[in-house]
Structure 1
Amino acid sequence: MKNEQIYLDHAATTPLRAEVLDSMMPFLTNDFGNPSSLYQQGQVARKAVDESRELIGKVLGARVGEIVVTSGGTESDNAAIKGAALAMKSYGNHIITSQIEHEAVLNSCEQLKEFGFETTFLPVDSDGLINPDDVVKEINSSTILVSLMMANNEIGTIQPIKDIAQKIKVESQNLGHPVLFHTDAVQCVGSLEVNFKDLEVDLLSLSAHKFQGPRGVGALLIKRNTPFFPLLTGGGQERDRRSGTENVAGIVGMAKALQLSSLEKEVVNQELIFLRDMIIDGVLNSIEGSFLNGHPTQRLPNNVNFSFDSVEGEPVLLGLDFAGISASSGSACSASVNEPSHVLIAIGRSKELAQSALRITLGPSNTKSEVQYFLETLPQLIKKLKSMPSLQKS
């Protein structure tokens, strides 16, 4: 077992950067004022929040007034789905999403059934890609909202969001009423180039802890003049779209992390893609009965996901952990649920292959030597597990 753990689960969460923590510390100590207060301590906090919003907007191509700060990706997705659907109910009750969305989107759609809404769950191909024409075919006179993730959190496949947005806009004009488009960009912001204006979507979710920012803070971008029903009411913060005293330190940290990742992502992504492809080639060439899940190239720079014949996923994760490697089987938000990944089932994997899934997600601090150690460790582990009948799949 290695003395120092190698962290290969950056899609679950990322370490907080030292510079980000430094930017937050004043607002966790001396500058603790409430931004709504008129006295000096409150105004110091207000200035920090306003400047952070401006920075977030600059990086993401959004107006300051389009940024609604939330507690993270799950809240942003819930607010987008429910807030848009409830605001649009006079136009219809039909929502379109896909079979591979994050549970925050899928469960929000399920919950809305209780309020008379209906949802179409689009299929994906074997790489996890959505066909834009399939979206158009499902739009009808009752359709009010489409929600599709920009890139999948488990298999890393990147969707043609702008193409889909443009097709939805045409259909919306034909219908004579708005069809709003939400994208969950939680896995993309800080990694890919994300410009809210250029994407032509109406709502976009993000979460700071996915790009080395603090946990417990994220944002929902809402295009100006987009109908929206607030889920949290109270003091009227976030322009009446999400009440609650602002998390000043979190907002400052999110802005700083976003700024740093934006400045560095081009160089960082080149290295991540090199390491990602090194893992893909190494695993597929050294482990018989291994399968890559997701598109081979149209995927996040840091994401790889494999399935293995005749091996259960949990012993693989435990074996890697014992060897000093932290990895996962898929979404950290549903890791405690003993069911095969709905994403892998949707792309056509058998239940057995879905339950053998191994997700590796890299970060800026990972090195070639760490990847080499992983590529030495995994084949030996898989071989050992396959030789142990009690751990083989039935």
Structure 2
Amino acid sequence: MKRIIYSAAFFITIAFSAQAQTPIKETREEVADVTLLNKELLIYTKKEKDGQFLYTEQLGATGTATKEPALNLGSVNTVVGSNKENNEFFVYHRRGRKDEVIAFYTYADGAFTKVGERQLPRLKNQSYNLGLFLTPDKNDLLIAAELGKTKGYDDIYLSKWSGNRWSKPKNLGKQVNTRQPEFAPFLANDSLYFSRKDGEAAYVYAVPFKAGTVVEQEPVKLAGNINQENAFNAYYKKQGEQELWITADNEGGYTAYTTGAEEETYGSAFGDNYSFEDAVSTSQYPGTVAEMKATASEVKSRKADLQLLYGFNSLYLDEAAVKELDAFLENQQDKARIYITGYSDGKGVKSVKQEVSRKRAAYVEWYIKHKLAHKNFWILSDHTVLDELGAAYRKVEIRID
């Protein structure tokens, strides 16, 4: 059986959050860990029949998943830490039974460059799983494994770098390590974060931590939306003001979540010189709203004249869709009445789905008013959350009257 690496990754600082979560990736493939780089590039680990590999994917852009050759130098690979100050991130590679390393990479202009590596400490791991987190200074290595006198299944240990070798891993003590498996460790702001199994479920915990000491306080289960009940919640991290984690449900679905402002999370083919406030602040052209609302239901019952599809949870159209929208609208008569409906599918939290559908419609309305102002269109927009799941239901529909 291939060893699974439970890991933590990029640019981590810690906080507890009560913000609503936003799904940024959903899959039925087995994924472990997800990282958001430069607010637009997802890096995640996927388990396959011949190992575990790193993939990248442009946020909100379907069909962009890439298995990165530069980051997959072993049969098992995963991101295990970073140093924001020198633009490095750290990747574990299992290249052979006695050849396991943590390699150091930089990322610039779309390319990954390896700048060094360090051998992993020799571990007599009795578990099929291994979890690692390396601190930014590369001196403290958290290990989730079953070593020596375990407290029960996978425990969390600390090994320190002394200039040319790793110290013997030290068990963090019974407050952290129970008879349930503990995994996915990472450190931030003198706090330790990890996940703990509970039957078939798992939940994220936090506890104050000072390197080199046994943890004396009892860990606290994170509150808010992060720990969904009766689900597998893990790989929590925080990048700036944005939190990331994965929740797996009992039906085989994996969803990566984030918290934070959606308009800051996704790139737009419309350009950078506008905000959501711009999109909703411009009032409807005078004298048209009441008249258009009177016929809205009738118009919406017709087949859409144009349907624009979106990537999972994306708020913006890609460049190809924008070109399609431009061509379609340029062929319409000046002062035509345009009815816009934004849709979200049924996946996710109700409040988030409503916001996604609303913002999809609002951004398209903004675009038409500002980029095609010479056409003097009359515009009415609306939004709907659908019960159905899938790419066909993440869309904006446009009808001309």
TM-score exceeds 0.5: no
Q: Which protein is richer in helix relative to its size?
A: 1
TM-score by length of 2: 0.25
TM-score by length of 1: 0.26
Q: Which has the higher contact order (CA 8 A, sep 6+)?
A: 1
Structure number with larger C-alpha Rg: 2
